[in-house]
Amino acid sequence: MNQNNENFNESINPDFKAKKSLMRSVDEYVEGIVSGNRTILSQAITLIESSREDHKELSREILENCLDRTGNSVRIGITGVPGVGKSTFIDALGIDRIVKGDKIAVLTIDPSSSLSKGSILGDKTRMEALSVHPDAFIRPSPASGTLGGVARKTREALLLCEAAGFNIILIETVGVGQSETAVHSMVDFFLVLMLTGAGDELQGIKRGIMEMADMIAINKADGANLDSAKRAVQQIQNALALFSDRPSGWKPPVVMCSAMEGSGIIELWEKIENYVHQSRKSGYFVQKRKVQSIDWMVETIEQQLKEMFYKHPDVKRHLMDFENKVNEGTISSFKAASELIKLFESKKS
Ligand code: GDP
């Protein structure tokens, strides 16, 4: 196609260029990704997020071809309420690590962007230093989908980032719904950022978070906050002592930091390195990833089966009828479900 035609197509459809540029060959994508080309990495992630069948197919092939280059990063989940300082913290930690020679990718899981049509994490300019650094890659949460869908896409994006040579992957979430659990299921280390408050520090912790945390960091431990931060550390340590020992043998530390001033960040990272070292040595690191992979396989099967079911022509045709019958009380919901599943199965064999 000549230049004039391309310009013409773009002038009538501004998306033309974007769509066209997504359609490289699998080899072009894979070569681009493994050579660390961030533009191509970004385009491949866009394919992962796309709902178009041809994009899905292409992204599956790209992923498949990148798999033997994945797994070589430390995957860290970071959560905390809005305003706790996640982006300031990630910016500070990220730049610290880049100076030491690491390459950082930051992905986010923010189901609020599809639930409330407004993203909690994406609305402002975040991570100012990191976002312009050539050794960093920042990708906001997919803009739509269920938490399960968003989590799957993020996990696939994580693998592509690893193939692109990023050796520290930070996955950030704001803790809406079950998003912490989703992040926890794909990382090696889970960091919870907290604020110190008026003596009620523990009230803000969602159930289950303490069990998931591999470290709790009280951020904004600076200025007038310092004393109450120290008290919060004590309180949280006491609370953690009530939990039974972890299978990894790791005792989650409670630390203080100031992302704004940059204090405590180096010490915090050393603790993460200790964890990685310890758990690699004991075999727990690898074991945990294996368990996660199996969980993801099961989850992927469940999601795909569900998708196949609702796309099945007979199911589509009769679903509404059965809903009406259940609504009228002429058939039980169990019977309706098993009839629909029969329809789904009959065409398979
Ligand atoms: P996020 O919503 O969790 O990503 O929080 P941000 O990183 O956007 O921070 C929210 C506000 O807290 C911003 O105004 C930051 O400047 C401020 N902030 C972040 N970290 C610190 C810190 O360590 N100390 C103090 N005093 N303020 C901080």
Dist. CA 185 → ligand 1 center (Å):
26
Q: What per-residue confidence (pLDDT) applies to 110?
A: 81
Give the nearest ligand 1 atom to 81 CA.
3
Residue 189 has pLDDT above 80, yes or no: yes
Residue 1 has pLDDT above 70, yes or no: no
Smallest CA separation from ligand 1 atom 15, residue: 85
The lowest-confidence range among 146-150, 180-184, 277-281 is 146-150
pLDDT in tens, 205-217: 666 788 899 999 9
> Which residue among 120, 260, 261, 268 has the greatest number of ligand 1 atoms within 8 angstroms of its CB, and so is best to mutate?
260
The pLDDT > 90 percentage for the chain reads 63
Q: What per-residue confidence (pLDDT) applies to 88?
A: 95
Q: What per-residue confidence (pLDDT) applies to 121?
A: 59
Residue 347 has pLDDT above 70, yes or no: no
Convert 13-34 to b/e letters by CB count within 10 Å (16 or more is b): eeeeeeeeebebebeebbebbb
The count of other CB atoms within 10 Å of the CB of residue 160 is: 29
Dist. CA 258 → ligand 1 center (Å):
9
Cβ-Cβ contacts under 8 Å for 104 (sequence gap 6 or more): 94, 97, 98, 130, 135, 136, 137, 166, 168, 169, 170
Mean pLDDT over residues 12-35, rounded? 74
pLDDT in tens, 13-23: 444 444 555 57
Tokens in use for 315? 């199911």
Give the nearest ligand 1 atom to 174 CA.
3
Q: What per-residue confidence (pLDDT) applies to 7?
A: 44
pLDDT in tens, 127-161: 889 989 999 999 988 777 778 888 889 999 999 99
Mean pLDDT over residues 111-119, rounded? 57
Give the nearest ligand 1 atom to 90 CA.
7
Considering only residues 315 and 121, tell me which one the structure prediction assigns the higher pLDDT.
Answer: 315
pLDDT in tens, 58-79: 999 999 999 999 999 999 999 9
For residue 5, what pLDDT band results from cuts at 50, 70 and 90? very low
Q: What per-residue confidence (pLDDT) applies to 14?
A: 46
Dist. CA 330 → ligand 1 center (Å):
57
The lowest-confidence range among 162-171, 229-238, 251-260, 279-288 is 229-238
Dist. CA 134 → ligand 1 center (Å):
24
Q: What per-residue confidence (pLDDT) applies to 16?
A: 46
Dist. CA 260 → ligand 1 center (Å):
7
Smallest CA separation from ligand 1 atom 9, residue: 85
Dist. CA 66 → ligand 1 center (Å):
36
Ligand 1 — pocket residues by CB below 6 A? 80, 82-88, 219-220, 222, 258-260
Average pLDDT, the chain: 87
Residue 258 DSSP one-character state: B
Considering only residues 315 and 3, tell me which one the structure prediction assigns the higher pLDDT.
Answer: 315
For residue 331, what pLDDT band results from cuts at 50, 70 and 90? very high
Residue 296 has pLDDT above 70, yes or no: yes
> Which residue among 88, 128, 131, 194 has the greatest number of ligand 1 atoms within 8 angstroms of its CB, and so is best to mutate?
88
Q: Using an 8 Å Cβ cutoff, are 173 and 87 in contact?
A: no
- Averaging pLDDT over each range in 174-178, 184-188, 224-228, which range is the top one? 184-188
Give the nearest ligand 1 atom to 258 CA.
23
Rg of the Cα trace of the chain? Answer: 23
Query: Looking up tokens 């990220």, which residue turns up?
Result: 94
Full strand arrangement of the beta sheet holding 74-79:
136-139, 104-109, 168-173, 74-79, 189-194, 215-218, 254-256
